[in-house]
A and B are shown apart, each in its own frame.
Chain A
Amino acid sequence: MTAATTDQPVDDTRPLWGIAQYDDGTRRVPWPVSHAEIERGMAGAIPTLTGVGVGVGSRVLWCTLLSEAAHFWPLFIGTMLGGAQFSLADATAPDALRVGMFLRRLEYRAVMGVNDAVLDGFDELGRSYAEVFGGVPVVGARPGAYERLRAVGLAPHWFVLCGPAVAISVEPGGPARVDPGEWTLHEEYGRILVTSRRPRATTFDRTPTAIRGSLVDDHSFFPETGDPS
């Protein structure tokens, strides 16, 4: 098992795009990111979004945190390049109010990145998940939130921050899939590891992630869940 190494050569003379963070299962690791890899990610996001029906004339609400910006930014821009609109809310309990506001006032094809904190916020507001999300065709939920939404009869898609990679299932209950051009996945004692396939400001080589699950192939997996169905 090899940790990420930083400041590897990348064909990009611009200042770094940013220093984001990813979770390796023990801590949140600072993650230098180049503009070049963000730009590749934008193009790579479009097929995934198309796969969940996001395209011209549709709308996506992304639930995110600033430290996750390198995961999400290519998805935001990919949404736009694919002809759809997007909105933003923080993936925090207090911002559940904003998530609810957007879903009440506008029609969304998808709400992605829903996590436990957002659902906790709806619990505090006394609003049922079915009432809030029931009218949204695609709900992309992170581990934890995924199981809670299934428990009330909803059919979420997986939305998983798998170390530095993003894995999304294109159908409810289907495996979560990363961009195969960018990432190779491995499984070690039930933990998912990632290897980067193209030049990045930070190179990943069988780098551990916080995600446990079982591989389907080298770019898709089923996250571990307490929900056997």
Chain B
Amino acid sequence: MSSLEPYFDEVAETRSRSDLDAMQLERLLLMLPHAYEHSPLVRSVWEEAGVHPRDIRSLADFSERAPFTDKETLRHWREDRGDPYAGLLCVPVDEVTTILSSSGTTGEPTLQPQHWGASGGPVPAGLSRDLWMMGMRPGDRVMVVIFTFRGPAFGMVQQFGATPILCDYDAADMIRFCELSLEFRPTGLYSLSSMIVHAIAEACEQGGFDPADVFSSYRAMVQAGEPLGARARAVVESWGVPLFEHTGVGDVGTAFECPEHDGLHFWEDDTFVENLDPDGTEPVGDRERGELVATALVNRTTPLIRFRSDDLVKLTRVPCPCGRTHSRLWPVGRKGDGVEIDGRTILPIDVWPAVESVDECSRGLFQIVREAPQMERLRLRVGYGPDCTDRLDTVRDDLMAAVTALLDRVPDVELVPEAELLKLGPPHKIPRVAKR
């Protein structure tokens, strides 16, 4: 394979829509009986709905008849029955080698039992397509900056035939990131968040590193966790390296941007995705805001079937100008994150630009305090940097002015040290909505 070719696996990445549909149906018809037979949760949910896998003969049947699951269903099963795997485990317990956990951003982490082989954990084949798509190549060195609790993300780099450079996900350790970049000259970086972007910028300044030199070897950088605000994005743009957005797909798959930077591709040969009315069951239109509903097509250990993710996305099945035919999505926010103020629903993504426009809050660490779906006033809890404790009244005034100008709603602002907010989340994101 020439390194100039645009695809890692041209056949898989450019299948016609009819081929993709046929492949999805074939895999779905294998998965459904497996899940029904082995997952107590799936069997219970389907029995309650009066549906059996043999009733499903087409993708249309599935969309019409298959019942949903969601986080609440899993939580109830876990708590009511004392089953740590929430009724999802489809293999004998003694085949489980590894029990990982979700990030736990919005509550107690979900346990994720896995079956590993001698070479390590399951690495979806599609990740190699993603790394190639972003410009990395086998033989490269790829900087991996991530936490460990979700398993070895560096496995995707090794499977691809590249060498990972392993760097702690620690904002206080980004001088090391600069040193490693200069010594080993990686071509790719996985992954950035607002916190890490600002920490690298500060490390360059404090350590006397020229960002143009630090980043001279990079061809791609991946951002994960939550979208970068405009301010952090501008910092990355100043480094002159293309930034690729990355997100999870309903705890079932992953999605990455391609060089067109017009939506995030997810691989439809391992995940079946629907985009439905967040308050109903009907599909929304192309590129309209809906709720992502995901079904696993290859994970036979703990397959999620028709899982309502609470993630709000826009989605299109129109082939991308890059030539890939797999669908693209655009993350919008989380269902239930919105709060209606004076007739307008406001999401964290709406508040973000105003918060980070204030220098002392440039990291964009904030929460909407949502005591009820409808509130008279927007309540914000905003993190401030360590150097402005002597002028918090001014910071609050600036924030109120910025939010009011952007949203035409006057907010109440509670200021807290950034460190307090960072304690709330996994390292790459914080819960953006708090109940109090």
Q: For the complex, is A196 an interface residue (Cβ under 8 Å from B)? A: no
Task: Indicate if the CB atoms of B163 and A20 lie closer than 8 Å.
Answer: no
Digitize B159-179: 1 where CB-to-A-CB distance is under 8 Å, 0 elsewhere: 001111111111000001000
Give the segment of B27-35, B96-104, B243-251 that binds chain A: B96-104
Give the segment of A45-53, A66-74, A160-168 that binds chain B: A66-74
Task: Indicate if the CB atoms of A70 and B98 lie closer than 8 Å.
Answer: no
Report which of A77, A85, A94, A102 forms a contact with B423, defined as CB distance below 8 A: A94
User: Distance in Å from the Cβ of B239 to the closest Cβ of chain A?
Assistant: 21
Task: Indicate if the CB atoms of B101 and A102 lie closer than 8 Å.
Answer: yes
Measured between beta carbons, the chain B residues less than 8 angstroms from A92 are 147, 170, 427
Task: Indicate if the CB atoms of A18 and B168 lie closer than 8 Å.
Answer: no
Measured between beta carbons, the chain A residues less than 8 angstroms from B149 are 88-90, 95, 98
Measured between beta carbons, the chain B residues less than 8 angstroms from A21 are 166, 176
Digitize B57-88: 1 where CB-to-A-CB distance is under 8 Å, 0 elsewhere: 00000000000000000000000000010000
Task: Indicate if the CB atoms of A18 and B165 lie closer than 8 Å.
Answer: yes
Within 8 A of A (CB), among B130-170: 138-139, 141, 144-152, 154, 158, 161-170
Task: Indicate if the CB atoms of B148 and A69 lie closer than 8 Å.
Answer: yes
Measured between beta carbons, the chain B residues less than 8 angstroms from A77 are 116, 118, 120
Measured between beta carbons, the chain A residues less than 8 angstroms from B387 are none
Q: For the complex, is A127 an interface residue (Cβ under 8 Å from B)? A: no
Question: Given known contacts A19-B184, A87-B101, A88-B151, is B158 in contact with A70 (CB within 8 Å)?
Answer: no
> Once bound together, how far apart are the Cα atoms of A217 and B430, in whole Å?
49
Q: For the complex, is A30 an interface residue (Cβ under 8 Å from B)? A: yes
Question: Given known contacts A80-B116, A106-B84, is B101 in contact with A67 (CB within 8 Å)?
Answer: no
Which residue on chain B has the smallest CB distance to residue A64? B148
Q: For the complex, is B109 an interface residue (Cβ under 8 Å from A)? A: yes
Q: For the complex, is B108 an interface residue (Cβ under 8 Å from A)? A: yes
Task: Indicate if the CB atoms of A18 and B176 lie closer than 8 Å.
Answer: no
Task: Indicate if the CB atoms of A69 and B152 lie closer than 8 Å.
Answer: yes
Q: For the complex, is B123 an interface residue (Cβ under 8 Å from A)? A: no
Q: For the complex, is B388 an interface residue (Cβ under 8 Å from A)? A: no
Measured between beta carbons, the chain A residues less than 8 angstroms from B169 are 66, 90
Question: Given known contacts A66-B167, A70-B166, A87-B99, is B148 in contact with A19 (CB within 8 Å)?
Answer: no
Task: Indicate if the CB atoms of B166 and A19 lie closer than 8 Å.
Answer: yes
> Once bound together, how far apart are the Cα atoms of A90 and B104, in whole Å?
14
Task: Indicate if the CB atoms of A30 and B118 lie closer than 8 Å.
Answer: no
Question: Given known contacts A15-B139, A18-B163, A94-B427, is B98 in contact with A73 (CB within 8 Å)?
Answer: no
Which residue on chain B has the smallest CB distance to residue A56? B94
Q: For the complex, is B111 an interface residue (Cβ under 8 Å from A)? A: yes
> Once bound together, how far apart are the Cα atoms of A124 and B422, in whole Å?
14
Measured between beta carbons, the chain B residues less than 8 angstroms from A97 are 104
Q: For the complex, is A81 an interface residue (Cβ under 8 Å from B)? A: yes
Residue picked from A80, A81, A124, most chain B C-beta under 10 Å: A80
Q: For the complex, is B180 an interface residue (Cβ under 8 Å from A)? A: yes
> Once bound together, how far apart are the Cα atoms of A78 and B426, in whole Å?
28
Task: Indicate if the CB atoms of A19 and B180 lie closer than 8 Å.
Answer: yes
User: Distance in Å from the Cβ of A84 to the closest Cβ of chain B?
Assistant: 9
Report which of B84, B98, B101, B158 forms a contact with A86, defined as CB distance below 8 A: B98
Task: Indicate if the CB atoms of B100 and A87 lie closer than 8 Å.
Answer: yes
Q: For the complex, is B183 an interface residue (Cβ under 8 Å from A)? A: yes
Which residue on chain A has the smallest CB distance to residue B112? A87
Report which of B118, B144, B154 forms a contact with A81, defined as CB distance below 8 A: B118
User: Distance in Å from the Cβ of B232 to the closest Cβ of chain A?
Assistant: 21
Q: For the complex, is A28 an interface residue (Cβ under 8 Å from B)? A: yes
User: Distance in Å from the Cβ of B222 to the closest Cβ of chain A?
Assistant: 15
Task: Indicate if the CB atoms of B163 and A17 lie closer than 8 Å.
Answer: yes
Digitize B37-67: 1 where CB-to-A-CB distance is under 8 Å, 0 elsewhere: 0000000000000000000000000000000
Residue picked from A18, A21, A69, A85, most chain B C-beta under 10 Å: A18
Digitize A29-47: 1 where CB-to-B-CB distance is under 8 Å, 0 elsewhere: 0100000000000100000
> Once bound together, how far apart are the Cα atoms of A193 and B166, in whole Å?
24
User: Distance in Å from the Cβ of A177 to the closest Cβ of chain B?
Assistant: 25
Measured between beta carbons, the chain A residues less than 8 angstroms from B144 are 66
Task: Indicate if the CB atoms of A101 and B165 lie closer than 8 Å.
Answer: no
Question: Given known contacts A17-B163, A66-B168, is B101 in contact with A101 (CB within 8 Å)?
Answer: yes
User: Distance in Å from the Cβ of B76 to the closest Cβ of chain A?
Assistant: 16
Report which of A42, A67, A124 forms a contact with B167, defined as CB distance below 8 A: A67
Measured between beta carbons, the chain A residues less than 8 angstroms from B116 are 77, 80
> Once bound together, how far apart are the Cα atoms of A85 and B100, in whole Å?
10
Task: Indicate if the CB atoms of B161 and A15 lie closer than 8 Å.
Answer: yes
Task: Indicate if the CB atoms of A67 and B152 lie closer than 8 Å.
Answer: no
Task: Indicate if the CB atoms of A18 and B147 lie closer than 8 Å.
Answer: no
> Once bound together, how far apart are the Cα atoms of A28 and B175, in whole Å?
12
> Once bound together, how far apart are the Cα atoms of A171 and B166, in whole Å?
31
Q: For the complex, is A136 an interface residue (Cβ under 8 Å from B)? A: no
Task: Indicate if the CB atoms of B97 and A85 lie closer than 8 Å.
Answer: yes
Q: For the complex, is A3 an interface residue (Cβ under 8 Å from B)? A: no
Digitize A184-199: 1 where CB-to-B-CB distance is under 8 Å, 0 elsewhere: 0000000000000000
Which residue on chain A has the smallest CB distance to residue B139? A15
Residue picked from B99, B109, B139, B183, most chain A C-beta under 10 Å: B99
Task: Indicate if the CB atoms of B148 and A85 lie closer than 8 Å.
Answer: no
Measured between beta carbons, the chain B residues less than 8 angstroms from A70 are 166
Residue picked from A17, A66, A92, most chain B C-beta under 10 Å: A66
Report which of A18, A88, A101 forms a contact with B158, defined as CB distance below 8 A: A18
User: Distance in Å from the Cβ of B154 to the closest Cβ of chain A?
Assistant: 6
Given contacts A18-B163, A20-B166, 5 further A-B contacts (CB under 8 A): A18-B164, A19-B164, A19-B184, A67-B166, A94-B427
- What 4 pairs across the A-B complex have the smallest Cβ distances? A16-B163, A19-B165, A80-B97, A18-B164
